[in-house]
Chains A and B, each alone.
Chain A
Amino acid sequence: MQQHQPNFATAGSVAPAGASGTSSDHKRGKKRGSYNCGRCGLPKKGHNCHVNSPIPPSAATPIDSSVSTFSAVSESPTRQPPLRQPYSYLRRALSFDDAENQTGGFDPLEPDHLDAGYPDSFNVDSCGWPVNILWDVLRRLPPTGLLSAANVCKGWNDTARRVWRAAEELRLRVPVKAQLGFVASILQKCTSLARLSLRMESNVDSTMLACIAFSCPNLEFMEISTSNAAINRINGEELGRFVADKQSLKILKVEGCSNLGGFVLCSSSLTTVWLSDLFSLSKMVFNCPQLREISLEFSRKETDSTDLTTVVDGLGRSCPKLQNIHIASARLSHAAVLALTAAQLRGLRMLSLVLGSEITDASVAAITSNYPDLELLDLSGSSVSDSGIGMICNVFPETLSRLLLALCPNVTSSGIQFATAQLPHLELMDCGMTICDPNCENRMADKNNRELPKASSIKLPLVNQKLIIKHSRLKKLSLWGCAGLDALYLNCPQLDDLNLNSCTNLHPDRLLLQCPSLVNVHASGCRDILVGAIQSQVCNAFTAMESLSPSKRLPDGSKRIQVPYFHSSESPDETKKRRRIERRLCNVIVD
């Protein structure tokens, strides 16, 4: 009986980390234990498993200076740009996460609530505290707090030990000065650990992996994220060995993978793999027949030499159960798409191939003809045009709920309008930086000087564009950076998030928002007069609703208008349920 209780003020409760695992529809295939090799997942018949044979140590790792500048560079585009970045946004879309996700809390400790040795109420320990109460207090402490508490007295030490042993999930921030012993000593105490998330601020290498492998026999979830200048020196062989040995590992997420060099991951248990900052991999093989979700983010460096077509081809062959694919690389090409479409991945539902300027409408044609059931399609940063959108709308109207086409300079407002008109199930649409002139100086150039795909010659100068969107299900719409947009009319009753960052030419008099469910409007980089217009529109929307329900008339005849409670307009059925009605406030975020 497990209870995950997100008791901690620091964000990032348990759920997001797991959401990508659970919500991406884990229908575990039957474990064909008896006739597949446990180590590499290939059929046992006539098979000699080489996975665990001693592998000679790999060549020396790249020199420090190049690596450190590399990681510093790769940090910037993916971290905190002022505009809504495709990446973090995409990650959200891919994992079905509606809330801000991931790596929020660095410290909370969530042990299993019911410990096997749960003592009696009045069993009092040597320090005078009933043991079960002490347990209840100590289990709420972050790891550092628990370590302090353990040194208070013998009774507390005992209970602290029990709390460690019961811990199933550990999220730890490893500070810059920390040494391996820090993590090792904590991991040793947590014998039941199933989920481990390390936020490294100091460098990490394979001794950490070895330590984890040794201390956590039942690990199911492992995440290593890097921050600031932390360098991840783990190489591909070591990662491969770790994965092959950990028979229980289901979810693996590693950041900063610039030193992997090349790897073969063999696992019959892995269902989710996220690797980021990948660079120049000589070999990337996934022998993971249970794999459902894969996310590969490559570094933006020009010199990346990974052969994506082979990788995709391999994925298609050895991971037939893939449902969610996310690949971000400037070297994505039409050939890679063709390899993917040749693969017959019957379960594919979410496909995200971003930053590939060589992806064209022909690629869209291939995707639409082979995978007609997609729920999410993300081709941001590609050369897809309005005709590509036409193809998408032809094939996916029944299933597509998320469409992301940010940074696609060949997409125009008519394409966007067409998409919203033709895709009735659409809930999320990202058209950031589409309706704009790619050479316009308003665009926030990112530090890598990444080139956008060349706009096709038939495109008109993108100014004075208008967008009229009427959609009954749309929940999130992003038009960040659409500097060519000057008029916007939105009638979307379910819209809760609207991104108008840097819509610098949007005319305040040509803006009409009829979206009563709006919670957040992002308007940084917009002119003040526009922000004012937005604010008055969203408040007016509420007062319009208010007039449907009785409002109080004060004795002097004036009407008190407040941000309303939506009570009397509710149907009788709903008031019967004990439902908490929220006061809807709309935030206009300018920051």
Chain B
Amino acid sequence: MASSSKTITVVSSDGDEFEMTMKAAEQSKLITHMLDEFGVSDKVPLYNVNSETMAKVMEYCKKHADHEAAKEEDGGAAIGAGGEEELKKWDDEFLKVENGLLFNIILAANYLEIKSLLDSSCQAVADMIKGKTPEQIREIFNIKNDFTPEEEAKLRSENEWAFQED
């Protein structure tokens, strides 16, 4: 029913408005549902997402929508096997942002139900955690250590080998 040239408008928590094509909007399950319920004419309020994050999410949705369209077009000829890899590389670069923004992207992807973005961004965070000691992890994500010294000593002794990189 909606042609790909139609656009919708979403509003961030800061009040900024962003335009996105229907195809890009379809990347988000939440937006798709809202549009199904309420139609296209209204502006879609997304008050849980701020403008900086919204801009990034828009970029992601557009890129992936374009990729899908290209796939459909010549039966995939334009993309080829290299295309999926290229998209993955693009995703990796896209997620190289500072931690606060990355965290917000995850929250937004979760809220907007954009599965592929959620997967990639959670994986990116997991990759950051891999191979680090708890102290290092706390530093990266600015997390307060709320264990008592006794609890911490107990945990350390239980998992002693985990900190021995061999």
Interface residues in chain A, defined as those with a beta carbon under 8 Å from any beta carbon in chain B: 7, 121, 126-128, 130, 132-133, 136-138, 140-142, 144-145, 147-154, 156-157, 175-179, 182, 185, 565, 567, 570, 574-583
Contacts and interface: CB of A to CB of B under 8 A. Distances in A.
A176 B155 contact: no
A130 B80 contact: no
Nearest to B128: A137
Contacts of B82: 583
B39 interface: no
Given A185-B159, A565-B77, 13 more contacts: A121-B111, A127-B143, A132-B110, A137-B122, A141-B126, A147-B162, A148-B162, A153-B144, A179-B161, A575-B74, A580-B76, A581-B75, A581-B76
A185 B166 contact: no
A575 B75 CA distance: 5
Instruction: Give the dominant DSSP class at B's interface.
Output: helix
Interface string B93-118: 00000000000001100110000001
A126 B146 contact: yes
Contact of A133 (B77, B107, B133, B143): B107
Interface of B: 71-72, 74-77, 79-84, 106-107, 110-111, 118-119, 122-123, 125-126, 129-134, 137-138, 143-147, 152, 155-156, 158-159, 161-164, 166
A133 B106 contact: yes
Contacts of B75: 567, 570, 574-579, 581
Instruction: Give the dominant DSSP class at A's interface.
Output: loop
26 contacts: A7-B123, A127-B143, A127-B144, A140-B126, A144-B162, A145-B131, A148-B162, A149-B134, A150-B159, A152-B138, A152-B143, A153-B143, A154-B147, A157-B155, A177-B161, A185-B159, A565-B77, A565-B80, A567-B74, A567-B75, A570-B75, A578-B72, A578-B75, A580-B79, A580-B84, A583-B82
Of all A-B residue pairs in the complex, the 4 with the closest CB atoms, nearest first, are A575-B75, A140-B126, A151-B134, A567-B77
B132 A148 contact: yes
A249 to B, nearest CB: 28
B81 A152 contact: no
Contacts, number: 117
B27 to A, nearest CB: 17
B126 A145 contact: yes
Contacts of B146: 126-127, 153-154
A176 B123 CA distance: 29
Nearest to B48: A122
Nearest to A567: B77
B113 to A, nearest CB: 10
A84 B119 CA distance: 38
Contact of B110 (A133, A142, A177): A133
A140 B106 CA distance: 15
Contacts of A150: 155, 159
B71 A580 contact: yes
Contacts of A178: 161
Contact of B130 (A121, A145, A579): A145
Nearest to A144: B162
Interface centre among A141, A142, A152, A579 (most CB of B within 10 A): A152
Contacts of A152: 134, 137-138, 143, 145
B147 A182 contact: no
B110 A153 contact: no
Interface centre among A137, A176, A574 (most CB of B within 10 A): A137
Contacts of A578: 71-72, 75-76
Contacts of A138: 126
Contacts of A570: 75
A127 B137 CA distance: 13
Given A137-B129, A565-B77, A577-B75, A151 B156 contact: yes
A142 B130 contact: yes
Given A121-B110, A149-B137, A574-B75, A583 B122 contact: no
B76 A579 contact: yes
Given A121-B110, A150-B155, A153-B145, A182 B161 contact: yes
B122 to A, nearest CB: 5
Contacts of B80: 565, 580-583
Contacts of A185: 158-159
A182 to B, nearest CB: 5
Contacts of A580: 71, 76, 79-81, 83-84
A583 B81 contact: yes
A179 B129 CA distance: 25
Nearest to B71: A578
B26 to A, nearest CB: 15
B134 A148 contact: yes
Given A145-B130, A581-B76, A176 B107 contact: no
Contacts of A576: 75
A166 to B, nearest CB: 16
A157 to B, nearest CB: 8
B162 to A, nearest CB: 4
Contacts of B137: 148-149, 152
Contacts of A121: 110-111
Nearest to A565: B77
A27 to B, nearest CB: 35
A140 B156 CA distance: 22
B154 to A, nearest CB: 10
B152 A151 contact: yes
Interface centre among A149, A151, A154 (most CB of B within 10 A): A151
A121 B133 CA distance: 28
B20 to A, nearest CB: 22
B111 A141 contact: no
B107 to A, nearest CB: 7
Nearest to B118: A136
Contacts of A575: 74-75
Contacts of A574: 75
B146 to A, nearest CB: 5
A152 B155 CA distance: 10
Contacts of A145: 126, 129-132
Interface centre among A121, A145, A150, A182 (most CB of B within 10 A): A145
A178 B72 CA distance: 52
A220 B53 CA distance: 45
